Chains A and B, each alone.
Chain A
Amino acid sequence: DADVTQTPRNRITKTGKRIMLECSQTKGHDRMYWYRQDPGLGLRLIYYSFDVKDINKGEISDGYSVSRQAQAKFSLSLESAIPNQTALYFCATSESGGPNNEQFFGPGTRLTVL
């Protein structure tokens, strides 16, 4: 089984709808992250969490919210989806500590907002 899972893998929704993307991990890592990938822009950080009670905004948090339900679960919500939120979304985890800790990525969720 994959260490970092994301559901759904693909989603098409309409403008104005609320949508939740879920991420679960079995690696036992404290730190979890949400990134979005747009063509030509690389990956950009939306939110990150160091533990259940520590959630922080990243570079592009407007229009998004998150919930860290447990150490293993980190959900990303779009309260009212808009077309420019169409992107590939990645969840990632890492151990706490210094800069040498690899991040482990989920398989990604392709979201299309019509």
Chain B
Amino acid sequence: AQKITQTQPGMFVQEKEAVTLDCTYDTSDPSYGLFWYKQPSSGEMIFLIYQGSYDQQNATEGRYSLNFQKARKSANLVISASQLGDSAMYFCAMREAYNQAGTALIFGKGTTLSVSS
């Protein structure tokens, strides 16, 4: 079974609108972290936001917020006031504290976001 599922291959939004990118995860580890990365067309991986499994509040970083619903095992990324520069691929990833691969990240397949003017 997939550990990280991103069900939206592509999303389209207009400038200044908010958009939610979905991510669900599967783990039996009580301690884990959830990450979102942005990959523009140039290819680099840009860290956006982190949520720990024990964090009580949803993480926020500027225009990015993470809607963390632990019981539903979802960690959706919300981008407020979209900008043209937000057009990119977005990856959700998880790190489990007791994963055999230690602190390696498990990635979803990504969602391509296209922002239009």
Q: Is the CB of A100 within 8 A of B102?
A: no
Q: Is the CB of B47 within 8 A of A99?
A: no
CA distance A100 to B4 in the complex (A): 17
Could you say which of B47, B52, B104, B109 contacts A41, with CB atoms under 8 Å apart?
Answer: B109
Interface residues in B, total, Cβ within 8 A:
28
What chain A residues lie within 8 Å of B105 (beta carbons)?
33, 35, 43, 45, 92, 103
| Partner-contacting stretch, out of B13-21, B28-36, B62-70, B78-86 | B28-36
Contact status of A98 and B91, CB under 8 A, knowing A43-B107, A107-B44: no
Min CB distance B99 to A, Å, is 9
Q: Is the CB of A44 within 8 A of B107?
A: yes
Q: Is the CB of A99 within 8 A of B91?
A: no
Docked complex: B57-95 residues within 8 A CB-CB of A:
91, 93, 95
Q: Is B101 an interface residue (CB 8 A)?
A: yes
| Interface majority SS (helix, strand, loop, mixed), chain A | strand
Q: Is the CB of A48 within 8 A of B102?
A: yes
Q: Is A88 an interface residue (CB 8 A)?
A: yes
Could you say which of B37, B52, B104 contacts A45, with CB atoms under 8 Å apart?
Answer: B104
Min CB distance B3 to A, Å, is 11
Could you say which of A40, A56, A99 contacts B33, with CB atoms under 8 Å apart?
Answer: A99
Contact status of A42 and B110, CB under 8 A, knowing A56-B101, A99-B97, A100-B33: yes
Q: Is the CB of B103 within 8 A of A31?
A: yes
Contact status of A110 and B103, CB under 8 A, knowing A42-B108, A43-B91: no
CA distance A33 to B110 in the complex (A): 20
* Additional A-B contact list (7), CB under 8 Å, known A48-B102, A100-B33: A35-B105, A43-B91, A43-B105, A56-B102, A58-B101, A105-B44, A107-B43
B interface list, Cβ under 8 A from A: 4, 31-33, 35, 37, 43-45, 47, 50, 52-53, 91, 93, 95-97, 101-110
